[in-house]
């Protein structure tokens, strides 16, 4: 069963709804051409071949196609009362005509040059869409419930329409954080589920965390992201564009920008919301900078051209940098972490 609704409200007279319009009984539609066996015909390029076919609603006929109807067949307009009407499943001919004609706004194949007179309201489709969303809500809340609290805080920062800073989330009790996550899951479960799987969301998380920990800063005046310690520009977005999203897009095709995101990640690894992370000098290669800092801190040992770290020796910076870049930057991240830990230790002679 389908419910046919007219595009415009029916007129009323004395409280009784009158028929707004008749749906014409004849139309011409575009369909895929088929051979004698009923198979779709394609051209040499593999594209479907379309033909125009005349259709007509004629009670008593078994087909809506005029070339398949009797010569004596006559069409009959379809009258919709009160702005809407039920069409039962037993009215096969009428249903087929209504679904295929160009007067049907719900028909994805309709011609734009024909005025739409009605649309189809399918109760089953409406309720199925509602059930599908509820299933997504259940899945999203399940994911949120299973997440570690710190991970959940992080995703709330980047997925919420009005994201909170990490410091403000740190002041919230665990129950309130879960409540905020569930609210997001209920309002837009698709965004939540796609967001936690999205590479862009994880990259945005790195950048937002970098801003929170004062590794980088956002300058609203010129729409730039800058290193906090040197004020040098990482990225400058065009006016009106989101600076973080622009930086993420840049990093997809620019290796230097991608390296900067890796550096932000390394500098915020293991950081707390109370920490202020030391920044690198961006005029130098970030790998060279980290190596130099690590040597000064005696985390890495240089002996002539040879560099020693974690029981391994590398001949020169180039070989060491190659190792740092390998395996998803695992060695780079460890070196950056070891260096940061070395900076947090009390110096000789200092009072604890």
Dihedral sign, CA of 184, 146, 170, 232? negative
**pLDDT at residue 351 greater than cutoff 60:** no
Does the pLDDT value for residue 277 go beyond 50? no
Sequence-distant (6+) residues with CB within 8 A of 182 are 141, 144
Of 48-52, 53-57, 125-129, 289-293, the poorest mean pLDDT is in 125-129
Torsion, Cα 165 170 173 177, to 10 degrees, reads 40
Convert the pLDDT of each residue in 280-291 to its tens digit. Answer: 333 335 677 788
- CA distances to 160, 200, 220, 265 from 140, in Å: 14, 19, 33, 26
Digit-coded pLDDT (tens) for 184-230? 889 888 888 888 778 888 888 888 878 877 889 888 889 999 998 88
| pLDDT at 22 > cutoff 60 | yes
CA distances (Å), origin 345, targets 7, 295, 300, 301, 334: 74, 16, 16, 18, 17
**What pLDDT, on a 0 to 100 scale, did the predictor assign at position 275?**
35
Rounded Cα gap, residues 221 and 237, in angstroms? 11
Model pLDDT, residue 149: 79
Q: How confident is the model at residue 14 (pLDDT cuts 50, 70, 90)?
A: low
């Amino acid at each position: 069963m389908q419910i046919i609704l007219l595009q415009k409200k029916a007129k009323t007279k004395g409280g009784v709804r009158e028929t707004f319009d008749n749906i014409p009984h004849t139309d011409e539609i575009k369909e895929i051409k088929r051979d004698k066996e009923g198979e779709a015909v394609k051209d040499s390029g593999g594209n479907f071949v379309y033909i125009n076919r005349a259709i007509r609603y004629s009670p008593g006929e078994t087909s809506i196609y005029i070339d398949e109807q009797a010569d004596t067949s006559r069409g009959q307009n379809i009258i919709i009362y009160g702005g809407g009407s039920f069409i039962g499943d037993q009215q096969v001919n009428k249903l087929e005509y209504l679904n295929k004609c160009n007067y049907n706004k719900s028909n994805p194949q309709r011609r734009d040059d024909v005025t739409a007179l009605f649309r189809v309201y399918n109760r089953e489709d409406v309720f199925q869409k509602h059930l599908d969303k509820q299933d997504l809500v259940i899945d999203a809340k399940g994911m949120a419930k299973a997440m570690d609290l710190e991970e959940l805080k992080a995703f709330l920062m980047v997925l919420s329409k009005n994201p909170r800073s990490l410091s403000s989330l740190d002041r919230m009790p665990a129950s309130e954080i879960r409540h905020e996550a569930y609210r997001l899951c209920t309002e837009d479960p698709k965004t939540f589920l796609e967001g936690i799987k999205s590479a862009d969301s994880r990259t945005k998380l790195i950048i937002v965390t970098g801003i929170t920990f004062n590794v980088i800063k956002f300058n609203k005046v010129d729409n730039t992201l800058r290193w906090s310690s040197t004020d040098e520009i990482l990225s400058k977005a065009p006016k009106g564009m989101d600076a973080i999203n622009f930086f993420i897009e840049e990093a997809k095709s620019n290796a230097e920008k991608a390296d900067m995101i890796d550096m932000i990640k390394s500098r915020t690894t293991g950081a707390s919301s109370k920490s202020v992370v030391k920044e690198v000098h961006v005029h130098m290669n970030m790998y060279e900078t980290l190596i130099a800092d690590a040597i000064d801190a005696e985390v890495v040992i240089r002996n002539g051209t040879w560099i020693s770290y974690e029981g391994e020796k590398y001949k020169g910076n180039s070989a060491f940098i190659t190792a740092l870049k390998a395996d998803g930057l695992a060695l780079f991240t460890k070196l950056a972490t070891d260096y940061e830990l070395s900076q947090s230790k009390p110096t000789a002679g200092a009072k604890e």
